[in-house]
Amino acid sequence: MEVLLEADVRRRAEPAPTGLVAADESGARRALRGQLARLESQIADTVCAAFPEVLDLPALPARRQARILDLGELEEVRDRLAGQLGEARRRLANVARRQEEARVRLERMLMDPAGNRGERISQRELGEPGCGVWRVAPRMGIIGRMMGWWQVKLSSGCPLAT
């Protein structure tokens, strides 16, 4: 039994053939590179989903030099990208929550303009393209103001380029 155990220990202690290690490492690097591409694609999807809001993610520290990265360096980039994806999703969730709140405010404005005088919501706050602004304004100007006739209006949008 002891002899068997000793043989087993010796077998484990023997270094693996160099070619095998190189092949293993090469496979691991390939897998990590695949992970980097997938993470990059998921970050891109998250950033695009937030548009026109800009998530403004902090850039990751990088070498500014293109080179073959070893296993440790690839893992480091993967971990940072995973962190950045998490941050992007958190920010996107905040954007979605703010847009939902803006939509609820707009619904309230539409249901009860008089009760929401002075309220303004931009298209951007709603996550919509364009520069229009929803606001509660008096119908027929000063007369509407005196009579309490209020309505919700959408401004015409972006100023023309000069």
Partner 1 sequence: MNPGKTGAGWVDPALEAEFPGLALMTRGCPGPVAADPGVTERLDAVASRVRGRTAVEMRRETVPAAYRAFYRQVGLEPDVEMTPVEAAIGRRLFDGGVKARGPLQSALELAVLETSAPVYALEAGALEGSPGIRPAAAEEEVAGAEGFPERSPGRLVVADEAGPLCWLFGEAHGRGAASVSSPALMLVTVGVPGVSPMVLDEALDIASGALGV
Which residues are near partner 1 by CB under 8 A?
A: 26, 29-30, 33, 36-37, 39-41, 44-45, 47-48, 51-52, 54, 57, 59-69, 73-74, 77, 81
Nearest to 52 by CA among 107, 98, 83: 98
CA pair distance 103, 82, nearest whole angstrom: 31
Asked, as a colleague might, if the bond just before 17 is cis with ω within 30 of 0, I would say no
The distance of closest approach from Cβ of residue 53 to partner 1 in the complex, given in angstroms and rounded to an integer, is 10
Residue closer to partner 1 by CB (options 10, 64) is 64
The distance of closest approach from Cβ of residue 36 to partner 1 in the complex, given in angstroms and rounded to an integer, is 5
Residue closer to partner 1 by CB (options 39, 126) is 39
The distance of closest approach from Cβ of residue 45 to partner 1 in the complex, given in angstroms and rounded to an integer, is 7
The distance of closest approach from Cβ of residue 79 to partner 1 in the complex, given in angstroms and rounded to an integer, is 12
Nearest to 139 by CA among 152, 122, 156, 130: 152
CB neighbours of residue 136 within 10 Å: 20
